[in-house]
Amino acid sequence: MKVTFRLLPFFQLLAAIVLAGFLCMPSVVEAKQKLLSGIHGQKSVMPKSCRACHRGMTMALSGEESTCLTCHGSDSARQEMEQKGYLRLIGQVELRDIEVELRKPYNHPALAVRGVHRKFETLPEELVNAARHSECVDCHDSHAVEKNVPFRGLKGKRVGNFITEVTEEYELCYRCHAESANLPGRSTNKHEEFKTTNPSFHPVEGEGKNTFVISLKEPYVAQKQSPNDISTISCGDCHGSDDPDGPKGPHGSNNPGLLVLNYEMEDGRSESSQAYALCYECHERSSLLANESFPYHALHIQGRIGGQDGTSCFTCHDAHGSTQYQHLIRFNQEIVSENLDGRLEYEAQGYSARHGACFLSCHSVEHGVVEELLPTDGDPAPADSGGLLPPLDGGSLLSPSPSLDLGGGLQPIDDTVQRVDGVY
Ligand code: HEC
Ligand code: HEC
Ligand code: HEC
Ligand code: HEC
Ligand code: HEC
Ligand code: HEC
Ligand code: HEC
C-alpha cells in the first residue's frame, strides 16, 4: 500500500509530461518549454531544469515551501544547490533569503501552516471552514514566474462567473483577502475598502477621489499630470519587509500589521516621526501638524503640548478606505462612541472644502450635541475662526481640566464631561 501511495504522484507527473509531449507535437522538449516558460526555465541559471524542483521523493510536489527554500533560503542551502549543479549564479542573478523574512513576527504563514494547500485549488476560497494558508506557490506560479512579474501565471481575479489571470498586485492579494469565504473574524474584505466607488480610498485600484491632498510629498500627487507624478500606490508600498534593503514582497516584517514602517495604532501616545512613520513617508509631517487641512490635527495627534495623550491617525482614519465617509474617516470604536444624542457620524462638506462636522463622544468630550447649552443667538462661529475650541496652547481637550478657559460655545457639563460643537 505504502509503495503504491508513494509512487502514484511520480507516475502522475510522468504521465503529465508524456501526455503533454504527445499533445503538443512535435517534441516533448517543446512541451516542457511551454510548461516551464518563466525565469525558472532559463537553462543558464537552472541547468537541470525540472529536476531543480522535481527530484527524488518530491518528484510530485505538495506545494510546500521547502522546495523553494533550497535556493531562496539560507546561503548554505543555496551553496549546496550550486555544488550539486542545480543552480548557477551568473551575471546579475542574486537570490535573497526569503526564509529570514518569513521567520519575522508578522508574516505570511508559509512556514507555520503545512499540508493545507491543494494543487489546482480555487481561490478565492469558497468554503467557510477551509483552513487559511499561504504557500509560496499561492503567490508565485513556479512554472511561470518572471523577474519583476512574480505573480505571472496565477489565476484569481473574479470577472463575473470566471476567474481570470492576475495582472495587478492587489488582485493577487484579493485571492485571500477579499471575497474569501474563510476570512478570519477580525479581518475585512479589502476590495470593499479599496473600491473606487467608495466615498474615499487610498489610490490602489485607481486614482483617489480627493483632487487636492495638501500634505502629499513629492513625487506623490492626487492626480497625475506629469510623467514623474505618482498618483496610485500599491499594497506593497505599505506592506512588506521592515528592511529597506530586504527582498521585496509581503513575506514578513518586524512591524505589526506586516508593515514596511512603524505605525502606532494605540491611543494615548506621544507624537513623533517614528510613531506614524508609515504615513509620514508620503504625507508631510509638518503640513499635518501645522493644521494645513484639518484645523485640529495637531490638537488630536499631539495632545497636550509635551504630553503623552495624543491619539493615533487610526482613531479617525482607515489606512485602506472608507465605505462611509470622505477623507478615509472611520472611527475606532474602541475609543470613539456615540454622543449624548446617540450619534456617531462624520459630515464632510465636499472633497476639498476643508469643512465638516463630527458628532461623537471621545475622551469625555461631547462633539456636536444639539442642546440648549449651545449658543442660540445666531450661527455657530465660522469655521475659519477656529470654531469653538480653545487655543491650541491653552491645554488639551483630550485631557479635560475644569480650570480650562472654554471660550464661546464650549461648556462643561460637569467636572469630567466637556462639549464642543464639532464643526470645523
Ligand atoms: C522552480 C521549481 C519548479 C520547476 C523548475 C518545475 N516545477 Fe513543476 N511544479 C513545481 C511545483 C511547486 C508544483 C506544485 C504546484 C502546486 O502545488 O500548486 C509543480 C507541479 C507540476 C506538475 C503538476 C502535476 C503534479 O502532480 O505535480 C507538473 C506536471 C509539473 N510540475 C511538471 C514540471 C516539468 C515537466 C518541469 C520542467 C519542464 C517542471 N515541472 C519544472 C515546481 C517546479
Ligand atoms: C534551483 C534553484 C531554485 C529553486 C529550487 C527555486 N528557484 Fe525561484 N529562482 C531561481 C533563480 C535562479 C531565479 C532568477 C533570479 C534572477 O534572475 O534574479 C528565481 C526567481 C524566482 C522569482 C522571481 C524573483 C524576481 O526577481 O522577481 C520568484 C518569485 C521565485 N523564483 C519563486 C520560487 C518559488 C515559489 C519556488 C518553489 C516552488 C522557487 N522559486 C524555487 C532559482 C530557484
Ligand atoms: C494564498 C492566500 C494569501 C494571499 C494571496 C495573500 N495573503 Fe495575506 N495573509 C494570508 C493568510 C493566511 C494570513 C494570516 C492571517 C489570516 O488568516 O488572514 C495573511 C495575513 C496578512 C496580513 C496580516 C499580517 C499581520 O501580522 O497582521 C497582511 C497585512 C497581508 N496578509 C497582506 C497581504 C498582501 C498585501 C497580499 C498581496 C500582495 C496578500 N496578503 C496576499 C493569506 C494570503
Ligand atoms: C505610499 C504613499 C502613501 C502612504 C504610505 C500613505 N498615504 Fe495617504 N495618500 C496617498 C495618496 C497618493 C493620496 C491621494 C489620494 C487621493 O487623491 O484621494 C493619499 C490620501 C490620503 C488621505 C486623503 C483622502 C481623501 O479622500 O481625502 C488621507 C486621510 C490619508 N491619505 C491618510 C493616510 C494615513 C493615515 C496614512 C498612514 C496610515 C497614509 N495616508 C499613508 C499616499 C500615501
Ligand atoms: C497606505 C498604507 C496601506 C496600503 C496601501 C495598504 N494597507 Fe493594508 N494595512 C495598513 C495598515 C496601517 C494596517 C493595520 C491597521 C488596520 O488593520 O487597518 C493594515 C492592515 C492590513 C491587513 C490586516 C488586517 C485585516 O483586515 O486582515 C490586511 C490583510 C491588509 N492590510 C491587506 C492589504 C491589501 C490586500 C492591500 C492592497 C489591496 C493593502 N493592505 C494596502 C496599511 C495599508
Ligand atoms: C502572500 C503572497 C506571497 C507569498 C506567500 C510568498 N511571496 Fe514571494 N513575493 C510576493 C510578492 C507580491 C512579491 C513581489 C513584490 C514586488 O515586486 O514589489 C514577492 C517577491 C518575491 C521574490 C523576489 C524578491 C526580490 O527582491 O526580487 C522572491 C524570490 C520570492 N518572492 C520568493 C518567494 C518564496 C520562495 C516564497 C515561499 C518561501 C514566497 N515568495 C512566498 C508575494 C508572496
Ligand atoms: C481626530 C481625528 C483625526 C486624527 C486623529 C487624524 N486625522 Fe487626518 N483628518 C481628519 C479629518 C476630519 C480630515 C478631513 C479634513 C478636511 O475636511 O479636508 C483629515 C484629513 C487628513 C488628510 C487629508 C488632507 C491632507 O492633509 O493632505 C491626511 C493626509 C490626514 N488627515 C492624515 C492624518 C495622519 C497621518 C494622522 C496621524 C498622524 C491623522 N490624519 C490624524 C481627522 C483626523
Which DSSP string corresponds to 176-198? HHSS-TT--TT---HHHHH-TTS
The pLDDT tens digits of the residues spanning 379-409 come to 444 444 333 444 333 334 444 443 333 334 4
- The pLDDT of 10-24, averaged and rounded, is 46
Q: In ligand 1, which atom is closest to the CA atom of 17?
A: 35
Give the residue ranges of DSSP H helices in 111-152.
136-139
- What residue ranges line ligand 4, CB within 6 angstroms? 200, 202-203, 208-210, 213, 216, 220, 222, 233, 237-238, 263, 278-279, 281-283, 313, 317, 319, 326-328
Q: Whose CA is nearest to atom 1 of ligand 3?
A: 134
* Res 43: pLDDT: 92
Our answer on whether the CB atom of 134 is closer than 6 Å to any ligand 2 atom is: no
Residues paired with residue 419 on neighbouring β-strands, in sequence order: 366
- The pLDDT of 87-114, averaged and rounded, is 94
Our answer on whether the CB atom of 154 is closer than 6 Å to any ligand 2 atom is: no
Q: Which of 18, 14, 47, 40 is nearest to 31 (CA)?
A: 18
Our answer on whether the CB atom of 175 is closer than 6 Å to any ligand 3 atom is: yes
Please tell me the distance between residue 150's alpha carbon and the centre of ligand 6 in angstroms: 7
* Res 413: pLDDT: 54
Q: In sequence order, what are the residues at sequence separation of 6 or more whose Cβ sits closer than 8 angstroms to the Cβ of residue 387?
A: 295, 296, 380, 381, 420, 421, 423, 424
Please tell me the distance between residue 143's alpha carbon and the centre of ligand 1 in angstroms: 7
Phi (first) and psi of residue 146, to 5 degrees: -125, 150
Grid cell 508609515 in the structure block, residue = 278
Q: In ligand 3, which atom is closest to the CA atom of 156?
A: 5
- Cα angle value 33/35/36 (rounded, 5°): 65
- The pLDDT of 336-360, averaged and rounded, is 93
- Ligand nearest to the backbone CA of 155: 3
**CA 115 – CA 117 distance, rounded (Å):** 6
Least confident of 16-20, 120-124, 132-136, 222-226: 16-20
Q: In sequence order, what are the residues at sequence separation of 6 or more whose Cβ sits closer than 8 angstroms to the Cβ of residue 217?
A: 281, 282, 283, 284
Q: In ligand 7, which atom is closest to the CA atom of 213?
A: 27
Choose the residue to mutate in 235, 261, 267, 280 for probing ligand 5, maximizing ligand atoms within 8 Å of C-beta: 235
Cα Rg of the chain (Å, integer): 27
- The pLDDT of 239-243, averaged and rounded, is 98
pLDDT reading at 346 higher than 50: yes
Q: How confident is the model at residue 370 (pLDDT cuts 50, 70, 90)?
A: confident
Please tell me the distance between residue 248's alpha carbon and the centre of ligand 5 in angstroms: 17
Specify the higher pLDDT residue, 350 or 75. Answer: 75
Query: What cell numbers appear for 319 in the block?
Result: 489606512
Q: What percent of the chain has pLDDT over 90?
A: 64
Choose the residue to mutate in 69, 71, 87, 98 for probing ligand 6, maximizing ligand atoms within 8 Å of C-beta: 98
pLDDT reading at 240 higher than 90: yes
Our answer on whether the CB atom of 185 is closer than 6 Å to any ligand 3 atom is: no
Does residue 324 contact residue 302 with C-beta atoms inside 8 Å? no
Our answer on whether the CB atom of 282 is closer than 6 Å to any ligand 7 atom is: no
Q: How confident is the model at residue 276 (pLDDT cuts 50, 70, 90)?
A: very high
Does residue 193 contact residue 318 with C-beta atoms inside 8 Å? yes
Q: Whose CA is nearest to atom 1 of ligand 4?
A: 237
Specify the higher pLDDT residue, 364 or 217. Answer: 217
pLDDT reading at 329 higher than 50: yes
Please tell me the distance between residue 140's alpha carbon and the centre of ligand 7 in angstroms: 37
Grid cell 472633497 in the structure block, residue = 351
**CA 181 – CA 157 distance, rounded (Å):** 15
Least confident of 21-35, 249-263, 353-367: 21-35
- Ligand nearest to the backbone CA of 398: 7
Specify the higher pLDDT residue, 196 or 410. Answer: 196
Q: In sequence order, what are the residues at sequence separation of 6 or more whose Cβ sits closer than 8 angstroms to the Cβ of residue 328?
A: 200, 201, 202, 317, 318, 319, 320, 321, 322
Q: In sequence order, what are the residues at sequence separation of 6 or more whose Cβ sits closer than 8 angstroms to the Cβ of residue 421?
A: 357, 367, 368, 374, 380, 387, 388, 409
Query: What cell numbers appear for 354 in the block?
Result: 476643508
Q: In ligand 5, which atom is closest to the CA atom of 318?
A: 18
Cα 163 to Cα 119, 157, 281, 375, distances in angstroms: 16, 5, 35, 59
Question: Which DSSP helix (H) or strand (E) runs through 356?
Answer: strand 356-362
pLDDT reading at 22 higher than 60: no
Q: Does residue 26 have a cis bond before it (omega within 30 degrees)?
A: yes
* Res 53: pLDDT: 93
Please tell me the distance between residue 375's alpha carbon and the centre of ligand 5 in angstroms: 42
The sign of the dihedral angle between the CA atoms of 139, 144, 150, 153 is negative
* Res 163: pLDDT: 79
- Cα angle value 370/372/376 (rounded, 5°): 95
Least confident of 69-73, 84-88, 268-272, 312-316: 268-272
Cα 319 to Cα 257, 279, 350, 410, distances in angstroms: 11, 9, 20, 31
Q: What is the DSSP string of 24-75?
A: T-S-HHHHHHHHS-SGGG-TTT-TTGGGGTS-GGGSS----THHHHHHHS-H
Please tell me the distance between residue 61's alpha carbon and the centre of ligand 1 in angstroms: 7
The pLDDT tens digits of the residues spanning 162-179 come to 878 899 999 999 999 999
Q: How confident is the model at residue 39 (pLDDT cuts 50, 70, 90)?
A: very high
Q: In sequence order, what are the residues at sequence separation of 6 or more whose Cβ sits closer than 8 angstroms to the Cβ of residue 320?
A: 190, 193, 194, 201, 202, 328
Question: Which DSSP helix (H) or strand (E) runs through 10?
Answer: helix 2-23
* Res 28: pLDDT: 59
Give the global pTM: 0.91
* Res 420: pLDDT: 93
Q: How confident is the model at residue 289 (pLDDT cuts 50, 70, 90)?
A: very high
3-state SS of 299-332 is: HHHHCCCCCCCECCHHHCECCCEECCCCCCECCC
* Res 13: pLDDT: 52
Please tell me the distance between residue 170's alpha carbon and the centre of ligand 5 in angstroms: 11
* Res 411: pLDDT: 52
Q: How confident is the model at residue 31 (pLDDT cuts 50, 70, 90)?
A: low
